[in-house]
Amino acid sequence: MAANPQNNSRRVITSFMLRFVREADDTPVTLIVPPTPDEPVDPELASRNGAAWRGVVKHIQSGAEQHFSTMAEAENFMKKYIED
């Protein structure tokens, strides 16, 4: 019987929780995604579409958290735990 190479490798699982926060008001929520992940959300555009969002990303295994206002900031935090 041939060995399954996946059974011979060590599986590493890294988990993150992302929490998006928007201050409560009566304005409908519109998530604004910048054209590229490195560009911040335009504050004027965000104000026309409701309150700007922000977030927190948490690395589950260590408990470390990082606040972010762009997806690039969240991605940079996660890269610290998933890149060799």
Question: Could you state, in order of their start, the residue ranges of all structural domains in the chain?
Answer: 16-22+39-84
pLDDT for 1 equals 43
Residue spans of the chain under pLDDT 50: 1-3
pLDDT for 33 equals 53
pLDDT for 77 equals 96
pLDDT for 83 equals 78
Task: Using CB atoms within 10 Å of the CB of residue 57, give its burial: 0 to 12 exposed, 13 to 18 middle, 19+ buried.
Answer: buried
Q: Are 78 and 57 in contact (CB under 8 A)?
A: yes
- Our CA angle for 28, 75, 19, nearest 5°, is 40
Task: Please indicate, yes or no, whether the overall pTM of this predicted structure exceeds 0.85.
Answer: no
